[in-house]
Amino acid sequence: MTIWQEASAIPPVPTGSLREYVLAVFRERTGKVYSFAACYLNAYPLEYRDGCPNKNCKGEGCDDGCPTTGWFDETGDEDYSSLYNSLSLERGDKIMGWCEIPQWPDDRGHGETVR
């Protein structure tokens, strides 16, 4: 059973790491709520092309990336490094909530094999 958390609830992600969740976002232009995978970063060290956007980070602690917190889209693939982009929310869009990504239970077996 999926248990949705309020948008204001901070996901339990240890400092310096990230974790993927399902995010629900209301899109004003369509009047619908969409659910998709997104990563929550908690002071996760990201490298920025144009330097660290955190004004309090004056190089100290930013040598390995700027500590970044919030919701991000992940792109890229496993063979290369991932890229993290801020969520593209338009005016009137609203994060409704988040939940854990459901996992297939081990006791349900493997299903049909496609050949």
For 78-91, how does the pLDDT look when each residue is reduced to its tens digit (9 = 90+)?
666 788 888 989 99
Token digits of residue 33: 């709520």
100: confidence class by pLDDT, cuts 50, 70, 90:
very high
Integer CA distances (angstroms), 109 to 2, 31, 112, in order: 20, 38, 9
106: confidence class by pLDDT, cuts 50, 70, 90:
confident
- The answer for residues whose C-beta is within 8 angstroms of residue 83's C-beta and 6 or more apart is 74, 75, 76
Q: Per-domain residue ranges for the chain?
A: 13-102
For 28-40, how does the pLDDT look when each residue is reduced to its tens digit (9 = 90+)?
999 999 999 999 9
What is d(CA 15, CA 39) in angstroms, rounded to the nearest whole number?
A: 14
